A and B are shown apart, each in its own frame.
Chain A
Amino acid sequence: MSGFTISRRTMLTGSAILLASTAMPTSSWAQTPKKGGRLVLAADSEPRNLNPAIVASNGVFFISSKIVETLAEASFEGKDGLAPRLAVSWEGAADGLSATFKLREGVKWHDGKPFTSADVAFSALRIWKPLQNLGRTVFKDLSAVDTPDDLTAVFKFAKPTPFQLIRNALPALSSVVPKHVYEVGKIEDNPANNAPIGTGPFKFGEYKAGQYYRLTKNTDYWSKDEPYLDEIIYQVLPDRTSAAAALEAEEIQLAAFSAVPLADLDRISKVPGLKVITKGYEGLTYQLVVEINHRRKELADIKVRQAIAHAIDKDFVVKTMFLGYAATATGPVPKNDPQFYTADVPTYAFDVAKANALLDEAGYRKGADGNRFSLKLLPAPYFNETKQFGDYLRQALAAIGIDAQLVNNDSAAHIKAVYTDHAFDLAVGPPVFRGDPAISTTILVQSGIPDGVPFSNQGGYKNDALDALITKASETLDTTARTDLYKEFQKQVAADLPLINVAEWSFISVASDKVGNIANNPRWAVSNWADTYLES
């Protein structure tokens, strides 16, 4: 027990330093931004396709959100949590059959051509709806986009579509690409996917595989005086331990997306000239989830699923694995979501005795070797934490007499094993909550999704009541009624446990004190950085 206080104390000092460090930059924000300079930062992956309209993922946004802009960006202060970008205003019709966007005047593409409503119509109909990983769901009923003039785009829907959903989807799903570049040839093979052309504050410079991406200032940006930076260099540092060293050596000025391992934060926060920032990722919450294959007869039993939920010590996971940089989860919507979250759901306290009793009740008694049955456990390889949680879960299950055998795969093999071949009993996954349950959360439990769709219900779970609720919510136009339906959704998921939500976490940035205007919106790392600057 004495050791436990040590870890709690280090945790507290850690969070105290964090508080201090988040308070610090506020004072420097008051300074007037300085123009010029080159920002060098760490990149841990090298996406090949940089078109955010096709691949709406954080790895792509991290680089291309500076080049290609969306209609609106997430905001701490703005109405409905949005700030205008390429659209200046938006309004949904009462019948849910149309949505009108007024576009910004005087915007030019990086090649000099003017930006018009035709570009928006083209992007929506030809890319977001048919090709984009997330847009396929959200824009499935989009039938046409009318362009009465160059600065107005009217989205027409075949079926009533809640405007709340469209609004919540704008920051991640509405990247606008130029029609004149993409209308010739096959969109997927367009060279602009690798060297994007957009309206953003930075232009694509060059990419050297394994070395860096270089973005240069767009001198003709629509917001006068912006951007402040001359250049952004993404230094490819795939090794997580090297980012911290590079920051200390002042080779890079920023490491976003937790490129610095959590265990190093306490030490690095004491390095003069560096600050640790936990803000700026509120709109990008990852969920640590135990995915369950309901085809296994043991796991199809609700008592067994409840037993597994009781066997997981969520506080331990948050304190030991995430060192406090996470929150325990209660259900499929994260606690930090301002619109939909409800705490009024069935919860499962850490209770090994109860878990054992539930398993006995379900008829799975311990054998001579102390085991009830054996399971295959596949932790997703994307994050250190998902792998580590796999190790932890194996121990937690051993404590209730379930023998879990770990199977490690690389990314491609993991996706195939879980989402196409269903060759798993339990899997550990990191789905993302994107501001609205209809974007990427309900498909985790909905039935009838074809095999091979990654990050969807591939566990063979089918619950008619829950399916009906999801369909009803997707057709409900009234914001309050829709929100209430999603609260009911959280209750039913927590009660029936199609999957087990363990924790919610986001990322940490470490930056040099010289970098200004950091973390000033909830999706900062994947926003356009027009106002980011460097003090000399």
Chain B
Amino acid sequence: MRRLRRFLRTPEAVAGTILLTVLFAMALSASLLFPGDPQAIAGPALLPPFQDWSLPLGTDRLGRDVLAELFHGARTSLAVGLAAAAAALVIGAVVGTLAGFAGGLVDEVLMRITDAFQTVPGFLLALAFVSVVGPSLGVVVVAIALGTWTGPARIARAEVLSIRERDYVAGARVIGMRPLEIAFREVLPNALPPVLAMSSVIVAAAILTEAALSFLGLGDPNRVTWGGMIAEGRAVLRTAPFLSIVPGIALVLTVLGVYLAGEGIVETTAVRRGLS
């Protein structure tokens, strides 16, 4: 309870939480408020915002409802962002733990693989992967995770290196637990907090990468994505700028929200640790 109060006392955390709550509400209510296909043609093409209250944010070049697309796009952005970050954290934590705990040759091999992935820019890797395999939601998630798991892996490994020397690990060894059991039941849970602290940055980056991929036409074409909306609007940027600006603002607020909320959490836990 005290922690929650402290969390709420930091203004950026509050702002971030509000933004995220709104975003989740948008994503969850998308099907209720805008049932059916958000890409269905709903009215005249290129209707500017605030002209017709049944289409408050106007329509795009084919006459699709921008507000409906925005709500459904929130869903895609969040789903991809969270799924990619989760995948990156899981892969990273497992690889890092194995490397740090096993040491020796296993450590060398795993860390050199991590190095190899780290030397290729994450976005380039995602771009190449999606263009080879073909765009669909699952592929985009994997593509983003491919470029982001290395950070968590390195942090997990560093953490495990110090934890594996602790007494309770030695204790676990003495009572005859198998090495893998020790690694994943004793060491990993204790190595997680600093890895999780990275999650907000990873989610934010994943959302941006997804938007960039969609902008380049490498997103799932059967789903609404904010990046795709911005790309669509780009052709008419001078005559109907709102088509790019509206999803652009949504994207900025989302990334900001995720980042601020993450900062808030890190700050709160850091203070708690410092106090204890």
User: Chain A interface (Cβ within 8 Å of chain B)?
Assistant: 3-4, 6-7, 240-241, 244, 261, 263-264, 266-267, 320-321, 381, 384, 388, 390-392, 394-395, 398, 405-410
Q: Is the CB of B61 within 8 A of A263?
A: yes
Query: For A240, what are the chain B residues with a Cβ–Cβ distance below 8 Å?
Result: 235
Q: With contacts A263-B61, A267-B239 known, what are 10 further pairs, Cβ within 8 A?
A: A7-B44, A7-B45, A263-B235, A388-B62, A394-B39, A395-B37, A395-B40, A395-B62, A408-B218, A409-B134
- For residue B64, give the distance in angstroms from its CB to the closest CB of chain A: 8
Complex CA gap A405/B222 in Å reads: 6
A sample of 22 cross-chain residue pairs with beta-carbon separation below 8 angstroms, ordered by A number, consists of A6-B44, A7-B44, A241-B234, A263-B236, A263-B239, A263-B240, A320-B62, A388-B62, A391-B39, A392-B41, A392-B62, A394-B39, A395-B37, A395-B40, A395-B41, A395-B62, A406-B221, A407-B221, A408-B135, A408-B218, A408-B221, A409-B134
Q: Give the chain A neighbours of B270 by CB distance below 8 A.
A: none
Bound-state Cα–Cα, A7 to B41, Å: 15
Residues of chain B contacted by A4 (CB below 8 angstroms)? 44
Q: Please state if B62 and A391 are interface contacts (CB–CB under 8 Å).
A: yes
In the assembled complex, B237 has its CB within 8 A of some CB on chain A: yes
Give, as a whole number of angstroms, the nearest-CB distance from B42 to chain A.
10
Q: For residues 86 through 139 of chain B, which have their beta carbon under 8 Å from a beta carbon of chain A?
A: 131, 134-135
Query: B178 contacts the other chain (Cβ, under 8 Å)?
Result: no
* Distance between A248 CB and nearest chain B CB, rounded to angstroms: 10
B contacts with A: majority SS:
loop
- Known interface pairs A263-B46, A320-B63, A391-B62. Does A406 touch B222 (Cβ–Cβ under 8 Å)? yes
A409 to B133, CA, bound (A): 11
Mask of B50-71 contacts with A, CB within 8 angstroms, 1/0? 0010000000011100000000
In the bound complex, CA of A388 to CA of B217 (Å): 12
| B238 adjacent to chain A (CB < 8 Å) | yes
Q: Interface readout for B29-43 with A: 1 if CB under 8 Å, 0 if not?
A: 000000001011101
Pairwise interchain contact A384-B235, C-beta atoms closer than 8 A: yes
Once A406-B221, A408-B217 are accepted as A-B contacts, the answer to whether A264 and B236 lie under 8 Å apart by CB is yes
Chain B residues with CB below 8 A from A405, complex form:
222
Residue B47 interfacial (CB < 8 Å) = yes
Q: Bound state CA distance, A44 and B37, in angstroms?
A: 35
Is the beta-carbon distance between B221 and A3 smaller than 8 angstroms? Answer: no
Q: Is the pair A321, B135 in contact by a Cβ cutoff of 8 Å?
A: no
Query: In the complex, what's the smallest C-beta–C-beta distance from B34 to chain A, in angstroms?
Result: 15
The 6 closest A-B pairs by CB, nearest first: A3-B44, A406-B221, A263-B236, A320-B45, A261-B235, A408-B221
Question: Which chain B residues border A395 with CB–CB below 8 Å?
Answer: 37, 39-41, 62
Q: Tell me if B239 and A241 are in contact (CB < 8 A).
A: no
